[in-house]
Amino acid sequence: MINIIVFIPIIAALLIGFLGSGKKISLLASGTNLILGVFIFFELIKTGGKEIIYESSFLILETPKLALSFGVDGMSGILILLTLIVTFCAVQVSPEKGPDGKEKLFHISSMLISAGALGAFGATDMFFMFAFHELALIPTFLMIAIYGHGRDKVAIAWKITIYLGLGSLVLLGGLIALYSNLQGSGNPTFNIAELTDLAQSHPISDSLQKWIFLSVFLGFGILVSLFPFHSWAAPAYAAAPTPTAMLHAGVLKKFGLYGIIRIAMPMLPEGLASWHGLILVLLLGNILYVGFVTIAQSQLDKMLGNSSVMHMGYAFLGIACVNEIGTNGAVFMMFAHGVSIALLFALCGSLRERLNTLSLNRIGGLSGKVPFLAVTFGFAAFASIGLPGFANFASEVTILFGAFKEAQQISSLQITAILAIWGVVISAVYMLRAYRGVFQGESDRSLTLVRKDSLPKSPIVILIIILMITGFFPNIILSLLHFKP
């Protein structure tokens, strides 16, 4: 069934190319996929998420063993469900027609981004896991360069392409080195589970693990916008069309974190230990340095872009815990952040459409004019800050529990966690400042609502409900996660 979910948006993209009716076909495809995804999620709940279910495989090469294979366990199932939720909501907020009537390419690109993410999370073969992620990068470039906002949208599209292309090359080199050093006397394979078993039964030498892990970690890290390789993210999300910002920030950026947990941690444990101190320093760069940069932003879209980069530091903190609680918290954080940032970008896109500006110095006093946006943006802001009752709070607390799980004495991990808590304060400062600037006070007298709000209410309500359900009942997510480093 996973292979069906992966190929439905690809088929939808082909149908849009031949038939048109981009939004209708995209809605049908994303809605069908979401129903299938919810069914799979309930099946995972029955099995506890410990085993891979709905496996399928199509053998392409016998030597080395290369297969177009898919399957889902608790971790991949949560991220696939995240992809399906965000895709369904992103399609709903998409315009009926793109600029100059070029709606075909707009909706084709959205479907291919979704397909790339689904394939990357659902693939059980390392080659196709990498290949599906690369599939999503081309439509991302097209969406920003053609349909993006701002005069420098083409330059920003090239910047994100160069950064992510460089990250992919570094990652590819690390994966090739990992694969080459894991081949025993048996038939060479790209199957992730088989490679993991081989890495644990015949581990690579510590000296080799150190440098292979660095290459794999930096490659994945660039794709996640790890400090100091983060400067592509905020301008790209600010320039991107709303559906693209929702899909990339909410879903596709999680691929790097998923790859670290799925591949780097179990296959290269000594490499992780060698660079543990560096990881702690870099994640603090995401949380503190980028947090202060976020406070300094005067544009709502750039503020949200930097906010997305900042919160990736908490996911890296969960990974740095190197224990089950912390790693499971990191996966939960990926889900919570994906939903909340997609919600924020959807609301931001509606404000851009109505005002033609996102300057916090010009906007103000909108609560009485757009009460729905005022209320829902408040929910989204509180979720992003980490208010109790939302999934973000539950995931962040889980990560902190992981950091202090075995704290016999204060170590560098605990010191990092204590410093990271200040990121919550930073988040409160910039999110509440943004809310006050947009919805309270007085606006620039020359600023008027230029058009009616075309934002559908249903995807916004869906995202808020999901954040609250998983926030009040976090075990819905955590019960499916059983990662043991």
- How confident is the model at residue 99, as a pLDDT? 52
The predicted-structure confidence for 186-195, as pLDDT tens digits, reads as follows 667 888 888 8
The one-letter amino acid at 338: G
- How confident is the model at residue 329, as a pLDDT? 93
Judged by average pLDDT, the poorest of 85-89, 107-111, 185-189, 268-272 is: 185-189
- How confident is the model at residue 369, as a pLDDT? 78
The predicted-structure confidence for 98-113, as pLDDT tens digits, reads as follows 555 567 888 888 899 9
- How confident is the model at residue 137, as a pLDDT? 86
When pLDDT is averaged across residues 81-101 and rounded to a whole number, the result is: 81
The predicted-structure confidence for 343-373, as pLDDT tens digits, reads as follows 999 998 888 887 777 778 777 777 777 888 8
Judged by average pLDDT, the poorest of 127-141, 187-201, 217-231, 314-328 is: 187-201
Cis peptide before 64 (omega within 30 of 0): yes
Is residue 444 predicted with pLDDT exceeding 60? no
CB atoms near residue 180 (< 10 Å): 11
- Label residue 409 by pLDDT band (50, 70, 90): confident
- How confident is the model at residue 484, as a pLDDT? 66
- How confident is the model at residue 21, as a pLDDT? 73
Strand partners of residue 299: 359
Of 343, 311, 129, which Cα lies nearest the Cα of 225? 311
- Label residue 97 by pLDDT band (50, 70, 90): low
- How confident is the model at residue 98, as a pLDDT? 55
Is residue 447 predicted with pLDDT exceeding 80? no
- How confident is the model at residue 96, as a pLDDT? 64
Is residue 171 predicted with pLDDT exceeding 90? yes
When mean pLDDT is compared over 61-70, 151-160, 338-347, the highest value belongs to 338-347
CA 411 and chain centroid, separation: 30
pLDDT above 70 coverage of the chain, percent: 94
At residue 15's C-alpha, the angle toward residues 10 and 20, to 5°, is 130
pTM of the full structure? 0.91
- How confident is the model at residue 454, as a pLDDT? 63
- How confident is the model at residue 94, as a pLDDT? 83
Give the C-alpha separation, 67 to 279, whole Å. 33
Per the structure block, which two tokens stand in for 168?
Answer: 């992919």
The one-letter amino acid at 282: L
Strand partners of residue 53: 72
- Which segments within 206-347 are labelled E, that is strand? none
Find all residues with CB under 8 Å of 138, minimum gap 6, and list them: 112
- How confident is the model at residue 101, as a pLDDT? 55
- How confident is the model at residue 446, as a pLDDT? 56
The HSE-up count of residue 332 (CA atoms within 13 Å, CB side) is 34
What integer best gives the mean pLDDT of the chain? 87
At residue 246's C-alpha, the angle toward residues 82 and 230, to 5°, is 100
Find all residues with CB under 8 Å of 232, minimum gap 6, and list them: 159, 160, 162, 163, 164, 225
**What backbone torsions phi and psi does residue 299 show, to the nearest 5 degrees?**
-115, 130
When pLDDT is averaged across residues 432-450 and rounded to a whole number, the result is: 72
Give the C-alpha separation, 404 to 391, whole Å. 20
